[in-house]
Structure 1
């Protein structure tokens, strides 16, 4: 696992050389191909080196991180055209990828905390440095304070565990079972805010709306998944107390998912609609993890990977429209089918994946989550039906509003999609629908 870290660290000088924008992206794709061909022992931690390790869950998330980061560069071609602090932008993305790579591959609980919080800094830089409106400072502060407010208890909880056990290796912690209310709350809240759970989700739409397209992609693609990954690792050594208290989080996230789905139907900003839909999806993921059963575990892992690709792709689409019209308002982005008929297909494909239509990974993830939640309690069926129905409703609302209708007469000059944009969307959509063929990696052996 160390070799990939060195690969990333030695890419840093590339950022400062002239005309190296696409070279950095090619190197990330190269790293992706190396990482995919890694021999991975699916049942266990493997590729151990210097407290770095990899099991099936971290393997999937690291792969998603590298993929989304390389696509972020492809989406940010505008920065390259205007040479807007380009070298710093590249450095920021490489630094972010290093942080994410370390978060998913370290085996030490404290190091995991360190990089989990460290990934916040480059994201903040992206929002404040390359965002669009002056409100981006406020959005950055929201992101910072929501996340840091609950991460101090997590740090104290980790220190307590170390004090008790003199060991912080995540792999060894699974043989323990802590039955303590305060420890449980302090270990879990940080991840629930990061996911984000309903009630503590307010930083997410703000951050998304103000972030540049690369910031939105990384937020939707990876940042929301850090919380789920943390819950996977932490709930293992708090099983007794989890079985007592988890019903709280399941209720909040399912009812919250339904409320947020209704909220989506009121949005008039494309980006904020996609951001709120992420909260609804993550609500189901939290519900699945908290049932503490095998189906929930598999379904939440699958849905997180699927949602990462699909949501990131939808932010790219919203950005393509924004670059043409200089507006994200649904009232101005109407009748796009007349201007960019080819993009209508991509809107359709990605939105159908968002509402879990076959053959996307989201479908299998949602089926597993529904399976796990209904086996936990049949009453969850009501909320699940509503969430699934409204998920389709706001997807169709977004599609019909942007693609159909009478277009704005103020649009006098226009360029249709570029080949770079079509490639970008294809690279989001293809893994989302092709990985269903190798679903045994995600379902059976996890």
Structure 2
């Protein structure tokens, strides 16, 4: 019953906001209910190994929560809760979109049917497109929307054909049935590619990444939080749930493809990040680097690699969302994201600079942060398979340290630029929205064994 309450609470909250003039409190309550439910389910998973299933008997609709899905559902509820807090005094349209997205995301990560997964997987795009198209801050936002639609549509159509073939071949779309099916070599290979192309675009891995920096640059802050924090993780979740879970033999055979794309994403993505001048694009390209690490961890086919990749996705969702929120706060004050206009902000904005520095430490993988734990697990998993790939991925980790320190120093250290007027440190509302992310990042880094027991 709790899972169903978590599924419908965002929809009820969105309807209530649409019918009322004052929206903030209802949005916070609705998202808070989901967060409490998902936290309780997460604690249950920590205490006992089990799969929670709920079936709607009349229509055969089934949802379930296992160790992997509850982590992503919890991440979604946390990020949408803090996003609604940050949007408390803004127009209610953004909060409605957030709650609609939360309801769809709960279905993405809990539905136990591949057709239901596809429908909800694509349904998330609707509120995302509205966020970018209506809430974007620059003139190129319509171009960004088209790029988002075209890239994801191409991958989705190919994946839909694969899902149809799976259903026709097996006669069922349930996860439990599809996980125990062996396909002929030619069919299995085609099915793997049909699923994985969509997931590669959604993560994204290079060369399927072109749309991501453009959409991030044009999206409002809350849109970037949803994109980096949750939507990219849907690609990783699909790789684990469908690619490796249902097409395991094909995944082992094609693992060199993922290794190659992941290594390129890590090294080329890191070098591209260093060359950016837009603050948001720096964090966007950083996401590509981290998703390269995720790909390597998953396809190491080791328990440490699996745990590290899931930990990395949740950790990156927390850290990158916090960094995007800081960039949004700075943009609201100074109306620019170009790095060269900033400098010496630490003296006038001490609290915000400390928060950003802690997030940067998590992004670099400093010990006692979630980034460190996830990177070490991934490296442990891949080094047991191929030391050469491990060495190449360590280069991307070094590049991450370089561009993260470079970004922070350019903004907060040095002398103050003449372009900056009066400095305004973080407000109480901004602090309340971003501080939970920093706390979660540290807890995940200090006590990683709790999380590894979940998935």
5+ residue gaps, structure 2: 57-61
Give 1:298 deviation, angstroms.
Answer: 0.7
Pairs aligned (count): 440
Q: Report the CA distance shift for 1:410/1:392 in structure 2 as closer, same or farther (over 3 A).
A: closer
| 1:155 aligned residue | 160
Give 1:108 deviation, angstroms.
Answer: 0.4
Superposed, 1:101-140 pairs within 5 Å as: 101-140=106-145
Superposed, 1:211-360 pairs within 5 Å as: 211-234=219-242, 235-360=244-369
Give 1:343 deviation, angstroms.
Answer: 1.3
- How far apart are the structure 1 equivalents of 2:419 and 2:251? 57
Give 1:206 deviation, angstroms.
Answer: 0.5
Moved more, 414-423 or 281-290: 414-423
Give 1:441 deviation, angstroms.
Answer: 4.0
Give 1:438 deviation, angstroms.
Answer: 4.8
Aligned partners of 1:255 and 1:383 also within 8 Å = no
Q: Report the CA distance shift for 1:42/1:205 in structure 2 as closer, same or farther (over 3 A).
A: farther
- How far apart are the structure 1 equivalents of 2:339 and 2:178? 49
Give 1:27 deviation, angstroms.
Answer: 3.0
Residue 183 of structure 1 pairs with residue 188 of structure 2: no
Q: Report the CA distance shift for 1:335/1:33 in structure 2 as closer, same or farther (over 3 A).
A: same
| 2:59 aligned residue | none
Moved more, 424-433 or 306-315: 424-433
3-state DSSP of counterpart to 2:54: strand
- How far apart are the structure 2 equivalents of 1:272 and 1:412? 24
| 2:370 aligned residue | 361
Q: Report the CA distance shift for 1:367/1:177 in structure 2 as closer, same or farther (over 3 A).
A: farther
1:425 corresponds, among 425, 430, 434, to: 434
- How far apart are the structure 1 equivalents of 2:48 and 2:178? 20
Q: Report the CA distance shift for 1:295/1:324 in structure 2 as closer, same or farther (over 3 A).
A: same
TM-score (norm 1): 0.95
TM-score (norm 2): 0.93
5+ residue gaps, structure 1: none
1:409 corresponds, among 381, 394, 418, to: 418
| 1:46 aligned residue | 52
- How far apart are the structure 2 equivalents of 1:148 and 1:292? 29
Residue deviations 1:229-278 (CA, integer Å, cap 9, x gap): 10111122212222111111111211221111011111111110000000
Aligned partners of 2:17 and 2:26 also within 8 Å = no
1:89 corresponds, among 75, 94, 110, to: 94
Aligned partners of 1:205 and 1:272 also within 8 Å = yes
1:10 corresponds, among 12, 35, 56, to: 12
